[in-house]
Amino acid sequence: MGCKVFELLFWVSSVLCLACFARAFTPADNYLIDCGSPTNTTVGGRLFMADILASKLLSAPKNVIGNTSKAVTSSDDSPLYQTARIFTGVSKYAFSISQRGRHWIRLYFYPFVYASYDMNLAKFAVSTENHVLLSSFSVQAPLVKEFSVDVTTNSLAITFSPSENSFAFINALEVVSVPDQLIPDGAKSVKSSVGFQGLMWQALETVARVNMGGPTVSVENDTLWRTWVPDQHFLVENNLALSISNTRAVNYVAGGSTQEIAPNSVYGTCTRMNSLSDPNSNFNVTWVFDVDPGFQYLLRFHFCDIVSNALNQLYFNVFIDSSMVVQDLDLSTLFNVLAAAYYMDFVTESAASNKLRVSIGPSDLRGTYPDAILNGLEIMKMNNSDGSLTGLGTVNTSGSSSKKKVSAIVGVSVGVVSGVLLAGVLFMFCRKRKRLARHRQSKTWIPISINGGTSHTMGSKYSKGTTASLNSNTGYRIPFLAVQEATNNFDESWVIGIGGFGKVYKGELNDGTKVAVKRGNPWSQQGLAEFQTEIEMLSQFRHRHLVSLIGYCDEKNEMILIYEYMENGTLKSHLYGSGHPSLSWKQRLEICVGAARGLHYLHTGYAKAVIHRDVKSANILLDENLMAKVADFGLSKTGPEIDQTHVSTAVKGSFGYLDPEYFRRQQLTEKSDVYSFGVVLLEVLCARPVIDPTLPREMVNLAEWAMKWQKRGQLEQIIDPNLTGDIRPNSLRKFGETAEKCLADIGVNRPSMGDVLWNLEYALQLQEAVVRGDPEENSTNMIGELSPQIKNFSELDPTAFSAQFEVSSVDDLSGVSMSKVFSQLLKSEGR
Ligand SMILES: *[C@@H]1O[C@H](CO)[C@@H](O)[C@H](O)[C@H]1NC(C)=O
Ligand SMILES: *[C@@H]1O[C@H](CO)[C@@H](O)[C@H](O)[C@H]1NC(C)=O
Ligand SMILES: *[C@@H]1O[C@H](CO)[C@@H](O)[C@H](O)[C@H]1NC(C)=O
Ligand SMILES: *[C@@H]1O[C@H](CO)[C@@H](O)[C@H](O)[C@H]1NC(C)=O
Ligand SMILES: *[C@@H]1O[C@H](CO)[C@@H](O)[C@H](O)[C@H]1NC(C)=O
Ligand SMILES: *[C@@H]1O[C@H](CO)[C@@H](O)[C@H](O)[C@H]1NC(C)=O
């Protein structure tokens, strides 16, 4: 049974993978300038514009002191290196930015001698408005410097400032948009269990970009015009490593990495521990990189298990300097497929030395073969607290007003320079610095649990360190005998569901109360933590829209949970596949509103936010009146804080619903639930499974497919045919917008559950009543004639709005009815 699931997932991901080849990123801003060149130059299929076309971007007066005619050069040289622009005073390129966000800045340097200017002697600084990129910079060998900065206005200025009595130069320049998802806002920290936040605002300089075990991947062959260099130069002991290549195996899986994050020529090769001849091998494979002390670095590890031929074969550890950052990593548990492309980001502390070591080594787990792989590695320097990427400069905000600005365009012969390999020298530029030896104490941090997931739920379900105590809840304990009686001795014909945890039986207590009895597999240690979590959560949280726990039984090693019986089963079964009559749009909206209320209460109704972590249509149950209640709290956790003390933060949740950001960073927030709920909304609208491998490939993943239509403004094309004619266009529009916001790539851009609730209420109002005013105008915030309780929330003060919700949550508490049920139970069971 487990195998079938793996096969299915494998198949699904292969299909998804095919779908992602079709996409190619088109940068909104794409300035490529061949400085000093009289003509356009095409390199790697990209057109670098002639200097004259770019000169309007330059704010310096152009004092042209050289001519721009090209000399004959060796064919090995990049055509971009034949000309340069020389700046003898502070000069500024001002680019107008059409789409804010992260942009590459690539600076090409190729020093040569023109007239009295020996560019090997040039010394200068380069800065943007907010960041110093280079200072006291001089260059004696061909070099491309790559930076990326977040642009928050509609312009970006790049300023060249010559040092005293010197000049600046540049051969070519790129300012190009970067896809938003390339650098997410958060990453893990090497030394602390609290992740790093705020990467979005960091200026980054590429220090190394390495294709482990493979050849150079050049600009032409990279999805974002990056260069990846081979790893041999960085390896400490070449004989400890093997190079492996299997590019065709690479799977791009939803929630994992993408072609843009790294192409399959990177994921399809790896450097592997050379242990095949000796099963007792015990060593690390280590690479060393030159870094500047005093700066923090972002390390991105690219993994793709192209060496295993079965799941759960490869376990290894990953180190940054002396810190173990991942222990017993089993890549196959992340997606339950082999060769899924995946990456992990870590932010280091301020570097104490001028060397950064990265190692992989075998796991200590008994019964595993010593082995380890790494497919790619990127090291990016982060700006310091002055916003600078260099130790010397600070941003000069006093501007460039009074200085005399002079620039020169030159062309020159570079004929005899021997074959310059752009890529090979790209990141070799290193400064020798005094070694600051400071020993750091080692502390390990283990983000990934080794327990393999089976069933429909992904990843390990067992969290070490769960502190749930049953003692405070002994009042809910029900004798095993009573449970046996209630379920006709676990009559197989009374089974109403089977989940990852075990079977669910229908039952009836002595007093006639109908119950659902969930019986965990008694031999499953994995379920214990979930069992405890669920009892703990449900005995604390009482809400009309959360399924109520009536009691539990832990006699004889049993793990049995007894819930109120939900007459109408799961929301999912009413949407597709079960032959239930189709629900009306109004009914569906009411169900969504109810479920949103339950989740909103979980997120806000208690001192610490509770994150459900497994929101899906199968976990939203319907009572006899089709009122929605959120169920299955086995994976729930309180707020982000709790992860600081927990050892395991393995990714949990269900395939197709999983927040891509959580998947990558394994950092949990309420917004992960919001994402999953967004998927549920689409399920409700389209009445189809979230992953359906039988469909044409662009339709397999519901969230991706529906968002395509939503972005085109044609969501109505794909709604459940049963709803045609039933949905008012405005209600659909509001609903579609709400789902879209929930599915924002980045958590901070998603609405809170309270906002979602409010938007769904509004969609319901739009369906039920005629809203006055032009709905096109007021689709986001303003509302016209609504029911009184909605109107209360509409006062423009957002704090009043959330306060209203708090009150409404408290009103929703149904603890009274619960204790009634419970006292009946006590009476009838005579305890
Ligand atoms: C150079 O490229 C620009 C577009 O970037 C184009 O408008 C211009 O005509 C080209 N000039 C030449 C000489 O090809
Ligand atoms: C630069 O221009 C001068 C005259 O202005 C000319 O004599 C010289 O040949 C040119 N240089 C090249 C490399 O074409
Ligand atoms: C790009 O990759 C293909 C296939 O691996 C290879 O044949 C080609 O030479 C590469 N192109 C460049 C410019 O590296
Ligand atoms: C691998 O490197 C780490 C960090 O430097 C070290 O603690 C560990 O002992 C090494 N393992 C082996 C087998 O050498
Ligand atoms: C980098 O610069 C930004 C301002 O642009 C600042 O907010 C951030 O804290 C800096 N990063 C570090 C690590 O100091
Ligand atoms: C900043 O710019 C002003 C005016 O251009 C100049 O006088 C000053 O020396 C500059 N400071 C630095 C640190 O470059």
* Candidate of 65, 67, 412 to mutate for ligand 2, largest count of ligand atoms within 8 Å of Cβ: 67
Residues of the chain with CATH 1.10.510.10: 640-825
Buried b / exposed e over 425-459, threshold 16 CB at 10 Å, is ebbebeeeeeeeeeeeeeeebbbbbbbebbebbbb
User: Per-residue pLDDT averaged across 731-759, rounded?
Assistant: 93
d(CA 243, CA 47): 35
Report the top-level CATH class of 444-564.
Answer: alpha beta
Atom 14, ligand 4: residue with shortest CA distance: 283
pLDDT for 39: 85
Q: Residue 781: which pLDDT band, with cuts at 50, 70 and 90?
A: very low
Q: Is 188 annotated as a binding residue?
A: no
Residue range 457-499, pLDDT digits in tens: 222 222 222 222 333 333 477 888 888 889 998 888 888 877 6
Q: Residue 38 has what DSSP assignment?
A: S
Residue range 265-298, pLDDT digits in tens: 999 999 999 998 888 899 999 999 999 988 999 9
Q: Of ligand 2's atoms, which has the minimum distance to the CA of residue 70?
A: 13
List residues near ligand 3 (CB under 6 A). 218, 220-221
pLDDT at 232 over 80: yes
User: Per-residue pLDDT averaged across 92-112, rounded?
Assistant: 93
Residue range 5-42, pLDDT digits in tens: 333 333 333 333 333 333 478 999 999 999 888 889 99
pLDDT at 454 over 70: no
pLDDT at 650 over 60: no
Residues of the chain with CATH 3.30.200.20: 444-564
Residue range 119-176, pLDDT digits in tens: 889 999 999 999 999 999 999 888 999 999 999 999 999 999 999 888 899 999 999 9
Query: Catalytic one among 231, 292, 371, 614?
Result: 614
pLDDT for 340: 93
Write down the CATH superfamily of domain 186-382. Answer: Galactose-binding lectin (2.60.120.430)
pLDDT for 301: 97
pLDDT at 794 over 80: no
Active site residue 614: yes
Atom 11, ligand 3: residue with shortest CA distance: 221
Q: How far is the CA of 150 from the centre of ligand 6 (A)?
A: 24
Is pLDDT larger for residue 695 or for residue 826? Answer: 695
Model confidence pTM above 0.95: no
Q: How far is the CA of 43 from the centre of ligand 3 (A)?
A: 14
Atom 10, ligand 5: residue with shortest CA distance: 385
Q: How far is the CA of 203 from the centre of ligand 5 (A)?
A: 8
List residues near ligand 2 (CB under 6 A). 67, 69, 71
Atom 1, ligand 3: residue with shortest CA distance: 221
pLDDT for 316: 95
Q: Residue 757 has what DSSP assignment?
A: H
Q: How far is the CA of 407 from the centre of ligand 6 (A)?
A: 19
Which residues touch 177 (CB under 8 Å, ≥6 apart)?
Answer: 27, 28, 29, 30, 99, 101, 102, 103, 104
d(CA 289, CA 286): 10
DSSP-derived 3-state class of residue 749: helix
Q: How far is the CA of 40 from the centre of ligand 1 (A)?
A: 6
Kindly identify the ligand whose nearest atom is closest to the C-alpha of 68: 2
Write down the CATH superfamily of domain 640-825. Answer: Transferase(Phosphotransferase) domain 1 (1.10.510.10)
Q: How far is the CA of 411 from the centre of ligand 2 (A)?
A: 9
Q: Which of 576-580, 581-585, 757-761 has the lowest mean pLDDT?
A: 576-580
d(CA 432, CA 819): 72
pLDDT for 55: 76
Kindly identify the ligand whose nearest atom is closest to the C-alpha of 358: 4
Kindly identify the ligand whose nearest atom is closest to the C-alpha of 151: 5
What is the pairing mode between strands 342-347 and 186-189?
parallel
Residues of the chain with CATH 2.60.120.430: 2-178, 186-382
pLDDT for 526: 52
pLDDT for 394: 46
User: Per-residue pLDDT averaged across 50-76, rounded?
Assistant: 58
Report the chain's mean pLDDT, rounded to a whole number. 76
With a 6 Å cutoff on the Cβ, whether 327 touches ligand 4 is: no
Kindly identify the ligand whose nearest atom is closest to the C-alpha of 32: 1
pLDDT for 138: 93
pLDDT for 694: 82
With a 6 Å cutoff on the Cβ, whether 382 touches ligand 5 is: yes
Q: What is the CATH architecture assignment of 2-178? A: Sandwich (2.60)
pLDDT at 62 over 50: no
Residue range 172-222, pLDDT digits in tens: 999 999 998 899 888 899 988 778 888 988 999 999 999 999 999 999 899
pLDDT at 111 over 70: yes
Residue range 386-435, pLDDT digits in tens: 899 997 544 444 444 333 345 555 554 333 233 232 222 222 222 222 23
